[in-house]
């Protein structure tokens, strides 16, 4: 039995997901009403004309089809089938929002003729029968709607979706079946040819296995229900196990494709493992059954070999040549997995393996990670590719001229091409036609929807019609991190002429013959011309090239790996000179000089880098500065502008131990300053290295960078260690993050995106960089039931999802690279979170077991809630962008989703644009007063438009503000008159490490006290948001109006909150020369 915690979670999950008895009673009542309505249909002749879309879709065999006279017969039976009858039905079908109950209407054999299994005749008559039912149901007083849909998105297998007026949360899906002996089973064998329009090869017409299956599955539905009921009678917990397995699949979006595993297939597999294979014991509980099933299904050899539920040994070799997945049902004629594609099977195996492995390892959160966490495709696949195809050569949407629906052939072709192009760069390639279809097919069929008149047609409907010649295929790729970004695709040897020609034909101009270092001469594709900052594009470029070359229907290919490039904005030159490797090598050369110093009181033992740029997590690492190359050199090296405030690279210098240090912290700091001064003097005298020494730190200008040295003397005793607590913790944090970055190559780039997003939404003053790094580190170290992120995009959406969904005020987050935390440690911190003075976030690490080092001063609870709301919205938007036109499970409006396309140049803006209407006041800063205005996400023109749109600002006020504010700080570029005085004078004019934004925020917070919260983008942003605190004690406010009520000789009177205008005046006063103007939110303060 599962442990107590997992047992409670399992019980709660089953209670929530299983179909309640009350709903079963409602469904039974609706089925009874359906029987009564259908029984009222008169047995008589009726005329039927095949709908145009149906005739076109089914191909040439119906080209001469005309109006026919058919005789309607009453159905033999109307009864509940599927999981609602056999057990294991979900309360709410994924992506639907209501309970779906399958109802079988058995059509008499007399309705068909002997040869109706040929050339879609069966499907046409099936459609005619369904049309009669639909017409009568529409007129029934209890029916709210009766619309057509397709079963498994197969246009030749329509069904009816019937909803009652009351209650409206149950939907009946009406499926037509036929008696077992309607047609000879032998004529519907998978090797038989029943479509005369198929090609003839070797004097024989090609077989039609999928067509045959679409008929014979209607004949043996009762056999399958009996098989499922037998499993439920054999195993006590079978129904619960079915629910749990379906929940597992639904959480991963595995139930959402016509070519994938649906609830019926999963129930049949579970029944097979219990009844026929003996792999699972009937005495197992629900969790054990599912765990055993996942372990069985995670073996590729098992699934690809196929299996049968007939109870006798049966040869499946003939099936294997026609279907990727073989699961012969108990009747021996139906392949239950006939619709499952190769890519869907590979996806299922991959996910089952990940989940099974996690359950085997166990752990406190294993059950939660496997069964409770939603892992939709956007969160699982590293690369998302949208292939737009031209279907002008196809007769209709999802046409069935051949044996299989047309777009299924496109899926297979694309899958084979992408798999060959990517080869071992990927662990998994999944291909699926869009829009995704939910597991219950509960959506109106577009072809049956009445067309609106031209006068009343909406613009979006017209746009949709304009694109009917194109449809999209989604490709998802999970990378193999060892090979994903390699620069060479190695082909066959030049000695093998046949394979070499095939390789050349496949790759075209990209193929070239090369000699490698080991002496081999091989065909190859080389990607070394791709710039360093675009190497993550290589898999997508390979996919793009191969599809356009080898698949003529390809119109365009859009991919996700360039989605976030505009937001990061790094040049190729920057990525080379500011890469972590280049920075560490530069530091190593400086450290060697310091270690070699002899004339210093204590020798330098080690130099540890602690700035984010060293570990690749800084979105904008320092660039080489022309004035930081040493005495007398640097000017004229580049024509680029020189910032006045170059960024610093923090380094901790570890000194050798000594017993002669003073005991109090002030004296220790003075002694460290003296040590730093001595090191600086040695660098200047020995290497002419410019240095700037202060009591806090020492700045060394070396090879274009500014290294800020911090002395660490903790090796000299407890007193020194206490005085350097935050320095030591910062170094420990840097070591942990550097380890994660080295282990996962994508970590650095993903963290850069997360920091950029936090800052773009003006949350940077409240959420520290260390917090962002740890949250992202958690996603890589503890990825749960999915692979660690292999791209920036998947890491970013998981970051947003975790930030939005984690209960920060209740549960700590444990970033534990070596699994050092015990259960007692976790329970202690969880109990600590219950205290009233606990911080809003608790992120525990090996160096910070209390979990509040970086969060004890923020973010405030209200800011954290805002961050979670923004993250939730951004995650939904990114999900739409990556998955494409998938309308399942979204909270956003359809019109909003339809406006988002992966290939749009401005798609990234929907993720990074901050909402200004939430602020009471917005301050506009002078861009020339910012050290790095080129880092800004949006232009000055875009900012002005947003101020006008969101805050109702008068456009004329911009000119007045700019005209009156030309004088002030000029930090973006070193003035020419300073540069003409020579490098020494110019170097002395630099304000190294100065950040005017942070200085202004500190002063504004000091002046305003508890009156307001300030928000800003530290990466070039020129706006500051001010949110006034309602009903707050405004302690420490230094505004004159607030101090008027304070009588130093009498009783203290709490100051009144200052007015909005007083706050604006104060913010403008302390920002003279830095703040150009302040704008009041007209929506909040008229």
Q: Say which residue the tokens 């999928």 belong to.
A: 210
Residues contacting 512, CB < 8 A, separation 6+ = 523, 524, 525, 526
Sheet order of strands, 1012-1016 included:
1012-1016, 1023-1028, 921-925, 1075-1080
CB-CB neighbours of 640 under 10 Å: 12
The Cα angle at residue 84 between residues 79 and 86, in degrees rounded to 5:
90
| Helix, strand, or coil (residue 847) | coil
646 by Cβ neighbours in 10 Å (0-12 / 13-18 / 19+) ranks as: buried
- Mean pLDDT over residues 617-626, rounded? 91
Q: What is the pLDDT of residues 146-174, one digit of tens each?
A: 998 888 888 888 999 999 988 878 899 99
pLDDT digits (tens, 9 = 90+) for 324-374: 999 999 998 999 999 999 999 999 999 999 999 999 988 888 999 999 999
Indicate the average pLDDT of the chain.
85
Whether pLDDT at 402 is above 90: no
Contacts of 1078 (CB under 8 A, 6+ apart): 921, 922, 923, 924, 1064, 1067, 1068
Q: Which two tokens stand for residue 337?
A: 């997995």
Is residue 1038 predicted with pLDDT exceeding 70? no
Q: Which residues of 452-470 are buried (b: 16+ CB within 10 A; e: fewer)?
A: eeeeeeeeeeeeeeeeeee
> pLDDT value at position 1042?
40
With 80 as the cut, is the pLDDT of residue 462 above it?
A: no
DSSP state of 369: I
Is the pLDDT at 826 greater than 60? The verdict is yes
* Chain centroid offset of residue 716 CA: 48
Strand partners, 105: 78, 176
Looking at residue 389, its pLDDT comes to 87
Q: Can you read off the two tokens belonging to residue 1008?
A: 């305003």
Cα–Cα distances (Å) from 728 to 667, 714, 735, in that order, read 18, 8, 11
Instruction: Let me know: does 146 contact 137? Beta carbons within 8 Å.
Output: yes
| Averaged pLDDT for residues 642-663 | 87
**Res 88: pLDDT:** 85
More confident residue, 446 or 93: 93
Residue in this structure with the two tokens 């009747």, named with its chain if needed: 331
Q: Pick from 344, 356, 388: which is nearest to 476 by CA?
A: 344
Do residues 460 and 160 lie in contact, with contact meaning Cβ atoms separated by under 8 Å?
Answer: no
Residue 286: C-alpha distances to residues 228, 231, 242 (Å) = 16, 13, 8
Between CA 526 and CA 84 the distance in angstroms is 56
Strand partners, 437: none
Asked if 604 and 653 count as a contact pair (C-beta separation under 8 A), the reply is yes
Parallel, antiparallel, or unpaired for β 204-205 and 200-201?
antiparallel
pLDDT of residue 857: 84
Nearest to 863 by CA among 750, 1082, 1078, 1025: 1025
Tens-place pLDDT, residues 494-528: 889 999 999 999 999 999 999 988 889 999 999 98
Residues 275, 293: Cα–Cα separation, whole Å: 13
Q: What would the mean pLDDT of 847-864 be, rounded to a whole number?
A: 89
Eight-state DSSP code of residue 187: G
Whether the link from the prior residue into 592 is cis, omega within 30° of 0, is no
Scanning 99-200, the segments in alpha helix (DSSP H) are: 121-138
Q: How far is CA 910 from CA 379, 877, 907, 915, in A?
A: 18, 7, 6, 11
How does residue 47 score in pLDDT terms, banded at 50, 70 and 90? confident
- Which residue is it, tokens 């983008």? 1017
**Per-residue pLDDT at 187 exceeds 80:** yes
Least confident of 54-63, 283-292, 310-319, 611-620: 54-63
Confidence of residue 631 (pLDDT cuts 50, 70, 90): low
CA distance 876 to 896: 11
How far apart (Å, rounded) are the C-alpha atoms in residues 743 and 811?
27
| DSSP class per residue in 450-519 | PPPPGGG--HHHHHHHHTTTEEEEEEEEEE-TTTTT-SEEEEEETT-HHHHHHHHHHHGGGEEEEE-TTS
| Predicted pLDDT at 1040 | 46
CB of 812 closer than 8 Å to CB of 842? yes
In the structure encoding, which two tokens stand for residue 125, read together?
A: 């008559």
pLDDT mean over 181-202: 88
- 673-704 pLDDT tens trace: 888 899 999 999 988 899 988 877 899 999 98
- Using the predicted structure, report yes or no on whether residue 894 has a pLDDT greater than 60: no
Query: Cα–Cα distance between 597 and 807 in angstroms, integer?
Result: 52
The CA distance from 944 to 950, in Å, is 10
Q: Which two tokens stand for residue 30?
A: 């609706």
CA angle at 823 for the pair 821 and 826, rounded to the nearest 5°: 70
Q: Which two tokens stand for residue 619?
A: 């979105």
CB within 8 Å of 442: residues ≥ 6 apart: 93, 95, 96, 98, 100, 149, 161, 171, 173
Instruction: Identify the burial level of 554 via C-beta atoms within 10 angstroms of its C-beta, where 0-12 means exposed, 13-18 middle and 19 or more buried.
Output: buried
Residue 299 pLDDT greater than 50, yes or no: yes
What per-residue confidence (pLDDT) applies to 487? Answer: 92
Q: Find the mean pLDDT for residues 80-93.
A: 86
The rounded distance, in Å, linking the Cα atoms of 952 and 199 is 68
| Residue 280 token pair | 């699972």
């Amino acid at each position: 039995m599962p442990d107590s915690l997992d047992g409670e979670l399992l019980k709660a999950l089953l209670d929530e997901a299983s179909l309640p008895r009350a709903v079963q009673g409602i469904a039974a009542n609706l089925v009874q009403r359906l029987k009564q309505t259908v029984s009222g249909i008169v047995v008589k002749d009726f005329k039927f004309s095949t709908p145009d879309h149906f005739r076109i879709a089914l191909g040439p065999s119906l080209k001469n089809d005309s109006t026919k006279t058919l005789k309607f017969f009453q159905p033999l039976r109307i009864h509940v089938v599927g999981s609602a009858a056999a057990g294991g039905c979900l309360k709410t079908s994924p992506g639907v929002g209501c309970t779906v109950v399958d109802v079988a209407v058995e059509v008499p054999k007399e309705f068909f003729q002997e040869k109706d299994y040929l050339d879609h005749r069966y499907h046409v008559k099936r459609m005619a029968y369904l049309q009669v039912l639909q017409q009568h149901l529409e007129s029934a007083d209890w029916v709210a709607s009766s619309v057509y849909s397709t079963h498994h998105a197969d246009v030749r297998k329509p069904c009816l979706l019937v909803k009652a007026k009351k209650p409206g949360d149950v939907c009946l899906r009406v499926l037509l079946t036929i008696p077992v002996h309607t047609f000879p089973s032998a004529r519907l064998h998978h090797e038989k040819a029943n479509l005369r329009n198929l090609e003839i090869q070797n004097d024989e017409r090609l077989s039609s296995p999928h067509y045959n299956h679409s008929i014979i599955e209607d004949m043996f539905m009762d056999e399958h229900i009996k098989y499922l009921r037998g499993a439920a009678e054999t195993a006590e917990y079978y129904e619960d196990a079915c629910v749990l397995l379906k929940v597992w699949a639904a959480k991963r979006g595995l139930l959402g494709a016509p070519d994938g595993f649906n609830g019926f297939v999963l129930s049949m597999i579970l029944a097979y493992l219990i009844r026929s294979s003996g792999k699972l014991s009937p005495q197992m509980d629900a969790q054990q059954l599912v765990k055993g099933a996942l372990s069985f299904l995670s073996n590729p050899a098992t699934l690809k070999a196929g299996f049968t539920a007939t109870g006798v040994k049966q040869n499946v070799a003939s099936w294997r040549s026609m279907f990727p997945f073989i699961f012969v049902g108990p009747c021996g004629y139906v392949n239950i997995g006939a619709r499952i594609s190769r890519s869907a099977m590979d996806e299922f195996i991959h996910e089952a393996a990940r989940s099974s492995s996690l359950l085997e390892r166990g752990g406190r959160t294993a059950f939660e990670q496997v069964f409770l966490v939603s892992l939709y495709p956007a969160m699982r696949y590293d690369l998302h590719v949208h292939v737009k195809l031209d279907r002008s050569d196809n007769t209709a949407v999802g046409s069935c001229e051949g044996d299989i629906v047309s777009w299924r052939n496109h899926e297979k072709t694309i899958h084979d091409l992408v798999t060959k192009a990517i080869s071992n760069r990927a662990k998994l390639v999944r291909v699926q036609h869009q829009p995704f279809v939910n597991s219950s097919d509960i959506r109106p069929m577009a072809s049956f929807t009445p067309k609106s008149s031209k006068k009343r047609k909406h613009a979006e409907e017209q746009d949709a019609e304009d694109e009917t010649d194109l449809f999209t295929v989604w490709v998802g790729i999970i990378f193999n991190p060892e090979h994903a970004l390699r620069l060479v695709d190695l082909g066959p040897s030049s000695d093998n002429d046949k394979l070499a020609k095939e390789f050349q034909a496949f790759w075209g101009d990209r193929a070239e013959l090369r000699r490698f270092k080991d002496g081999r001469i091989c065909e190859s594709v080389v990607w070394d011309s791709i710039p360093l900052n675009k190497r993550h594009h290589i898999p997508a470029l390979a996919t793009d090239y191969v599809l356009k070359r080898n698949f003529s229907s390809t119109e365009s290919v859009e991919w996700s790996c360039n989605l976030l490039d505009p937001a990061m904005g790094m040049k190729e030159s920057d990525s080379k000179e500011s890469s972590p490797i280049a920075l560490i090598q530069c530091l190593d050369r400086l450290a060697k000089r310091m270690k070699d110093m002899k004339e210093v009181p204590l020798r330098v033992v080690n130099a540890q880098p602690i700035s984010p740029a060293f570990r690749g997590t800084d979105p904008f690492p320092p660039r080489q500065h022309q004035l930081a190359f040493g005495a007398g050199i640097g000017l004229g090296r580049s024509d680029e502008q020189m910032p006045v405030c170059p960024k610093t690279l923090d380094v901790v210098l570890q000194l050798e131990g000594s017993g002669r240090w003073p005991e109090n912290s002030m004296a220790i700091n003075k002694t460290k300053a003296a040590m730093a001064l001595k090191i600086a003097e040695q660098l200047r005298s020995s290497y002419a290295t410019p240095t700037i020494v202060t009591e806090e730190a020492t700045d060394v200008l070396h090879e274009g960078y500014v290294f800020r040295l911090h002395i660490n003397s903790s090796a000299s005793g407890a007193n020194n260690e206490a005085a350097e607590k935050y320095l030591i913790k910062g170094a420990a944090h840097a070591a942990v993050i550097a380890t994660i970055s080295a282990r996962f190559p994508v970590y650095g780039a993903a963290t850069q995106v997360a920091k950029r997003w936090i800052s773009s939404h003006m949350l940077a003053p409240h959420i520290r960089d260390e917090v962002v790094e740890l949250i992202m580190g958690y996603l890589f170290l503890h990825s749960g039931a999915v692979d660690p992120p292999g791209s920036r995009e998947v890491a970013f959406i998981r970051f947003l999802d975790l930030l939005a969904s984690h209960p920060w005020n209740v549960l700590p987050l444990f970033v534990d690279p070596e699994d050092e935390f015990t259960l007692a440690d976790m329970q202690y911190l969880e109990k600590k979170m219950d205290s009233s003075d606990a911080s809003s976030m608790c992120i525990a690490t090996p160096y910070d077991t209390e979990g509040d080092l970086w969060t004890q001063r923020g973010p405030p609870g209200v800011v954290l809630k805002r961050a979670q709301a923004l993250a939730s919205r951004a995650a939904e938007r990114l999900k739409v962008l990556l998955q494409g036109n998938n309308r399942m499970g979204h909270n956003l409006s359809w019109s909003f989703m339809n406006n988002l396309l992966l290939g749009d140049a401005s798609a990234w803006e929907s993720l990074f644009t901050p909402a200004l209407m939430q602020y009471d006041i917005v301050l506009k800063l002078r861009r020339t007063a910012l050290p790095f205005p080129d880092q800004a996400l949006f232009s000055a023109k875009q900012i002005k438009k947003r101020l006008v749109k969101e805050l109702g600002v008068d456009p004329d006020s911009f000119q007045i503000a700019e005209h009156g504010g030309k004088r002030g700080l000029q930090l973006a570029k070193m003035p020419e008159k300073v540069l003409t005085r020579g490098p020494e004078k110019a170097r002395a004019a630099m304000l190294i490490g100065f950040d005017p934004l942070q200085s202004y925020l500190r002063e504004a917070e000091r002046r305003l006290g508890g009156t307001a919260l300030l928000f800003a983008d530290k990466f070039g942003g020129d706006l500051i948001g001010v949110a006034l605190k309602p009903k707050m004690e405004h302690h420490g406010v230094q505004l004159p109006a607030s101090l008027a009520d304070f009588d130093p000789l009498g009783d203290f009177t709490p100051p009144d909150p200052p007015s909005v205008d007083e706050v604006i005046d104060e913010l403008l006063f302390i920002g003279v020369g830095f703040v150009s103007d302040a704008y009041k939110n007209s929506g909040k303060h008229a």
